[in-house]
Amino acid sequence: MAMKEILDELDSLSRARARELGKAKQEGTPIIEYTGYFIPEELIRAAGAETYLMCRGGEPEPPDAVLDYMLRFMNPLARSMAGFLELGLDPITPMSSMVVAQQTDNHVGRISELLEFKGINICKVGVPPDWTKDIAFEYYVESLKKMMQRVEEITGKKVDEALAKTYFEKSNKICELFRKLNELRMKDNPPIGFNEIIHLQHYSFNVDADIMIEKLTQLYEELIDAPGEFDADAPRILVAGRAFAMGDYIVPGLVEQSGGVIVAELLDEGVRPIEKDVALEGDLLVNFAKNRYLDKTPINIQQPAWDIRYDKIKELIKDYKVDGVLWYQLAFDEIYDMEYTCLSNWMKDSDTLLMKLESSYEYSREAMGPLTTRIESFVESLKEGK
Amino acid sequence: MADKEINRKLLEIAGFEGDELEAFLPGWMESVEIIGMTDEDIRYSVEEYIPKNWDIQFRGVRKMIGAYLREMVEITNTKKYKAEGKKIIYGILPAVCQPYSALKNAAGEDAYVSFPDLMLVTILNGFFDKADPYLRYAEELGFTYGCRHCPLNKMRVGSFAKGVLATPDVIWSWGFNCDEGPKTDEMIQCMLSESWKYVISRIPHDTAFGTPDDEYERVEYMSKVLKEGLDEIAEVTGIRPSDEDMKKAIKDAGRYSFKLGQLISLVCQSDPVALGGNSLTQFGQGVAVPFNCGIQYLEEALDITIKEVKTEIKNGTGVLPKGAPKVGSYFVPFCIPWIDRIFRENGVATTFSQTLSPSKSQLSPGKYGDDPYMSMAETWLKMPFGQNMGYEVEAMIEKVKANKPDGMLMGFFDFDRWLGAHQKMAADMVEKATGVPHYYIESDFWDDRDYSEEALRTRIESICQLLQMKKDME
C-alpha cells in the first residue's frame, strides 16, 4: 500500500474519532479531553475513559472568538482551545466529563480559567517549570495522582494496571516507529517529509493504537527502500517552536512546495515525545512522569532549558544534515520569542541559516502572499548556500 | 558639569531639606549622570512633569518621591558596592518583600537587596518620563517590540546591558505569577553574561476556579520552595537570615500594610477625595518591594501623608470638589502618571488599586506565626493577584464593596499573560456582583510609548462623562 493510501486511511479513521466518542459517551463511557504531553492518556484510558487530545488550531476565527473575555496578546493556539468552543465548533469539549489541562504556562493557565468560567469541568495538572528540583518533580507526580483520582471518580473504576502497561507498550511501539521513520528522514533524499510526519503524529492521537502500529509498520516497510520524495539537492530544514496544531498545516506545505524538505523538528506540543520510551516496570505513573519531566529535552518554559535545547538543535543539525532552521513561533508567544533571540545570538556565526516565522493563524489570501514570499526566499537562500 | 541648582530644586520637591539635602546632592548627581539624564530632563521633571502629575502639595508625597530617589542612587551604586565586596541580591516583581527584607536584615550594609528593574521603571517613568532609552535598548538586543514583553524585564536587560547594574551575586526571581520574569534571567545568562546567577522559585497556577489558594497544602509547598530559594542564596552569598531576621521582616511588613490600609480607607471614604490614586498606589509598593535603604523613608512619608489626609478631611478639602465621582482601578498606572491627571481634568478622582490594597484576609493575623517560611508563603498566597481568578474575584468584590467607587478601571496590563489576561472576565464578575460599572482600557502600566496621552484621552473622557452622568442621576 502506498504512502498516500495509508495516510488517507488514517485520515479517515482520525476524522471518525469524534463520532466514535459520541457513541462511546452514549454507551456510558466518560470522555476525558486533555492538553499537552504531560498528561498520561494511557492511564486515563486504563481507568475506563476515552481520551482526546485538545490541540486544534490553524484557523483565524477561534482565537478572535475569545476576545470579549481575554487579552488579545495570548498565543492563538491557547485562544483556540476556548475559541472553537465559543464558536460552537468543538464537538468534543461539551461532551467531555472533564478536561485535563497541563499547567505549564500562563497562556494555557488563563485559557483554562476561561473554560472554567464557561462552565467546563477542568482538572489542572501542575507542571512546575523548575524541573531540576526534586520537590518540583514530586509536585508534578502528586498533581498527576490527584488528577487520576478525579478520573477514577468519574469512571467509577480504578486504573487497570495490566491494561495500562499494555497501553504504554503500544505507545512505546508507536514512538519506536516514529523514531524509525525519522531515521529515514536522515537519508540524502528522504522518502517522507514533515507534512506527512505531522499528520501521522496527529492521527496517532485519534486512531486506535493497534491500527496505528500496523499502519506505521507498513509505512516504514514501504519506505525503507523507497526513492526520495524531493529534489536531490533540496535544502534540508529543521523546524522548531511550540507546536503545529491539528489543522495548522499551511507552513509545512509551503516549505515543501517551495522546494525545501523539513527533515527534523523540535516541538513542544501536538507531537508525541519520542526520545525515550516510558519504562514498563514499577509504578507506571512515576515512570511516565520521569519520561516526560526528567528524561527528555525540556520544553521552552522549563528552566533551565534553552542551552540544553540548543545542544539538541545542534545534534539534530548534525544528524540530519540540516541547512537551515525555521523557528515557527505563535504570535505573542513571549517565551518562545525570547528563546529565539538567544538562538539567533548563538547561531549568528553558524553556517546554518535561521529564520523566524510568526503565525497568528491568519492565512487569508492577503496574508498568504507575503508568507509564501518569505518561505520561498528562505528556501532560495538555502539553495544558494548549498 | 551638571547644574546643581536644578538638581537641588528636584530634591527639595522630593522632601529633602537642609544638611540632609546637601549631603545627598553629590551622590544624586552622580547617579543622574550614570543613568544618562541631562539637566533638561531634570528641569522638565521639576518644572512640569512632577508638579503636573503628583500631589506635591502634600509633604508626605514629596517624601515618598524622596524615598524612591534614594533607591535610584542605591542602584547606580551597585557596581561600587560590588567592588567593595558587598553582596548584590536582586529580585523581581511580583513578590512579597518579607524574604528579601529578611536577607537585608541579615546582611545589613554588607548587601544591596532590591528590585532594580522595578525601581528604575518606577522612578524614571514615574517622575522623569525617561525609561524609554533602556526599553529601546533591550528591544535592540532582541526583546522584541512587537511581542508585547514586560517593560520591567526589558529594563532589567537594558540597564544591565548599558552598564548601570552590577552583575548580581544572585537574583532571586519569583515566578509565582509570571513566566517571563524568571526566563529573562535565563535570557540574560544565555546572551549577556554567564555569571548572571539566578535562583528561581515557581509554583504552577493549578488551583481550581474559586477555591482558596492559601490552603495548607499549597502554603506548605510554597514554604519549601521559599526555603530552598533562601538556602541556595545562602550558599551563594553566605547570607542566611535568622528566624529573628524573618520575624522582623514580617512584623515590619505587617505594620506597613496596616498603615497602608488605613490610608486607603481614609481616601476612599473621603469626599472631597483627599489624595489621588497615583500617590496612594505608589505607597502600596512598600508591601511588595524591598527598599535597599530600608522601609523607614517610605514609612515616614506614609505616616506624614496619613496625617495630612486626616487634616484635608477635617478641613473638607481635597484634590477635586466634593461630590466628584471616584474610580478604583485594578492597578492605578502610576508609571504613567498623566492618566490620573486626565481623569482629574475631567472631574473624576482615581483612588484605590485592587492589587495593592490589603484585603480583610491579608490584614487578619496569619495562621503560621511560628514558622517564618509558612508565614511568608501564606502572605504571598493571600495576595489576590497570584490567585486563581474565581478566588481573586472574591477579594475584588470585597474591596469594591468596602471602598464604594462609582466605577472601576481595568486594563493597563496588556503585556502580562497572567495579570492582564483575565481582567475582562473578572470585570464582568465583579460588575455583576456589585453593580459598579467596570471599564477596560488596553494599555501598558509601565510604558506609554504605545498608548499616548492623545490616544487614551478620548477613552478616558468618555468614561468620565459616563460616571458624571451616573452621579447626576443618583
Task: Tell me the pairing of strands B438-441 and B349-353.
Answer: unpaired
pLDDT of residue A202: 98
- Are residues B423 and A73, on separate chains, in Cβ contact within 8 Å? no
CA distance B430 to B389: 11
Suggest the residue from A77, A99, A108, A334 to mutate for an interface test with chain B (most B CBs closer than 10 A): A334
pLDDT of residue A386: 81
What is the arithmetic mean of pLDDT over B357-375?
88
Helix axes A306-319 and B180-191, enclosed angle (nearest 10): 60
Closest approach of chain A CAs to the CA of B411, in angstroms? 9
CA distance B47 to B7: 12
Segment B256-265, tens digit of pLDDT: 999 999 999 9
Look up the CATH number of the domain holding residue A84: 3.40.50.11890
Q: Is A25 within the bounds of a domain?
A: yes
- Are residues A71 and B143, on separate chains, in Cβ contact within 8 Å? no
Confidence of residue B364 (pLDDT cuts 50, 70, 90): confident
pLDDT of residue A166: 98
- Are residues A341 and B178, on separate chains, in Cβ contact within 8 Å? no
Residue A341: list chain B partners with CB under 8 A.
141-144, 187, 191
Of B377, B361, B353, nearest to B95 by C-alpha is: B377
Segment B432-462, tens digit of pLDDT: 999 999 999 999 999 999 888 888 999 999 9
Task: Tell me the pairing of strands A50-53 and B170-175.
Answer: unpaired
B184 touches chain A (CB under 8 A): yes
Residue A70: list chain B partners with CB under 8 A.
421-422, 424-425
Do A56 and A80 form a contact (C-beta atoms < 8 A)?
yes
Q: Is A45 within the bounds of a domain?
A: yes
- Report the complex ipTM: 0.97
Cell reading at B40: 533638561
pLDDT of residue A315: 98
Return mean pLDDT, chain B.
Answer: 95
Edge-to-edge strands, sheet with A324-330 = A261-269, A236-243, A324-330, A353-359
Residue A110: list chain B partners with CB under 8 A.
389, 417-418, 421-422
- Are residues B425 and A346, on separate chains, in Cβ contact within 8 Å? no
- Phi/psi for A263 (5° steps) reads -100, -15
Query: Does the pTM of the predicted model rise above 0.90?
Result: yes
pLDDT of residue B96: 85
Indicate the residue of B182, B207, B224 with minimum beta-carbon distance to A303: B182
Q: DSSP character for A234? A: P
Do A191 and A223 form a contact (C-beta atoms < 8 A)?
yes
pLDDT of residue B207: 98
User: Would you say the C-alpha torsion B28, B33, B39, B40 has a positive or negative sign?
Assistant: negative
pLDDT of residue B357: 82
Using the predicted structure, report yes or no on whether residue B359 has a pLDDT greater than 90.
no
Q: Is A287 within the bounds of a domain?
A: no
Q: Is A350 left (phi over 0), alpha (psi -120 to 50) or beta?
A: beta
- Are residues A341 and B187, on separate chains, in Cβ contact within 8 Å? yes
Cell reading at B301: 512619608
pLDDT of residue B474: 81
Segment B124-148, tens digit of pLDDT: 999 999 999 999 999 999 999 999 9
A148 lies in which domain range?
16-161
- Are residues A113 and B184, on separate chains, in Cβ contact within 8 Å? no
Give the domains, in start order, of chain B with CATH numbers. 244-473 (3.40.50.11900)
Count of domains forming chain A:
1
Segment A201-236, tens digit of pLDDT: 999 999 999 999 999 999 999 999 999 999 999 999
- Are residues B205 and A109, on separate chains, in Cβ contact within 8 Å? yes
- Are residues A124 and B149, on separate chains, in Cβ contact within 8 Å? no
The 3-class secondary structure across chain B, one letter per residue, is CCCHHHHHHHHHHCCCCHHHHHHHHHHHHHHHHHHCCCHHHHHHHHHHHHHHHCCCCCHHHHHHHHHHHHHHHHHHCHHHHHHCCCEEEEECCCCCCHHHHHHHHHHHHHEEEECHHHHHHHHHHHHHCCCHHHHHHHHHCCCCCCCCCCHHHHHHHHHHHCCCCCCCCEEEEEECCCCHHHHHHHHHHHHCCCCCCEEEEECCCCCCCCCCCCCHHHHHHHHHHHHHHHHHHHHHHCCCCCHHHHHHHHHHHHHHHHHHHHHHHHHHHCCCCCCCHHHHHHHHHHHCCCCCCCCHHHHHHHHHHHHHHHHHHHHCCCCCCCCCCEEEECCCCCCCCHHHHHHHHCCCEEEEECCCCCCHHHHCCCCCCCCHHHHHHHHHHHCHHHCCHHHHHHHHHHHHHHHCCCEEEEECECCCCCCCCCHHHHHHHHHHHHCCCEEEECCECCCCCCCCHHHHHHHHHHHHHHHHHHHHHC
Suggest the residue from B206, B215, B235, B440 to mutate for an interface test with chain A (most A CBs closer than 10 A): B206
In tens digits, chain A (386 residues) has pLDDT values of: 699 999 999 999 999 999 999 999 999 999 999 999 999 999 999 999 999 999 999 999 999 999 999 999 999 999 999 999 999 999 999 999 999 999 999 999 999 999 999 999 999 999 999 999 999 999 999 999 999 999 999 999 999 999 999 999 999 999 999 999 999 999 999 999 999 999 999 999 999 999 999 999 999 999 999 999 999 999 999 999 999 999 999 999 999 999 999 999 999 999 999 999 999 999 999 999 999 999 999 999 999 999 999 999 999 999 999 999 999 999 999 999 999 999 999 999 999 999 999 999 998 888 889 999 999 999 999 999 88
Do A151 and A46 form a contact (C-beta atoms < 8 A)?
no
Of A2, A64, A52, nearest to A206 by C-alpha is: A52
Segment B220-253, tens digit of pLDDT: 999 999 999 999 999 999 999 999 999 999 899 9
Q: Is A290 within the bounds of a domain?
A: no
- What is chain A's alpha carbon radius of gyration, rounded to the nearest angstrom? 20
Q: Is A374 within the bounds of a domain?
A: no
Task: Tell me the pairing of strands B111-114 and A122-126.
Answer: unpaired
Segment A273-302, tens digit of pLDDT: 999 999 999 999 999 999 999 999 999 999
A316-319: long-range contacts, CB 8 A cutoff, minimum separation 24: A316/A238, A316/A264, A316/A266, A317/A238, A317/A352, A319/A186, A319/A264
Confidence of residue B7 (pLDDT cuts 50, 70, 90): very high
Contacts of A277 (CB under 8 A, 6+ apart): A172, A175, A176, A291
Segment B142-192, tens digit of pLDDT: 999 999 999 999 999 999 999 999 999 999 999 999 999 999 999 999 999
Do A346 and B191 form a contact (C-beta atoms < 8 A)?
no
Residue type, A190: P
Using the predicted structure, report yes or no on whether residue B315 has a pLDDT greater than 90.
yes
CA distance B229 to A79: 34
Looking up cell 508567544 gives A333
B144 touches chain A (CB under 8 A): yes
pLDDT of residue A216: 98
Q: Is A148 within the bounds of a domain?
A: yes
- Are residues B388 and A113, on separate chains, in Cβ contact within 8 Å? yes
Task: Tell me the pairing of strands A261-269 and B170-175.
Answer: unpaired
What is the arithmetic mean of pLDDT over B325-346?
94
Residue B186: list chain A partners with CB under 8 A.
303-306, 338, 342
Looking up cell 532571586 gives B172
* Terminal Cα-to-Cα distance of chain A (whole angstroms): 35
Do B154 and B134 form a contact (C-beta atoms < 8 A)?
yes
Using the predicted structure, report yes or no on whether residue B1 has a pLDDT greater than 80.
no
CB atoms under 10 Å from CB of A2, counted, come to 10
Looking up cell 546591558 gives B161
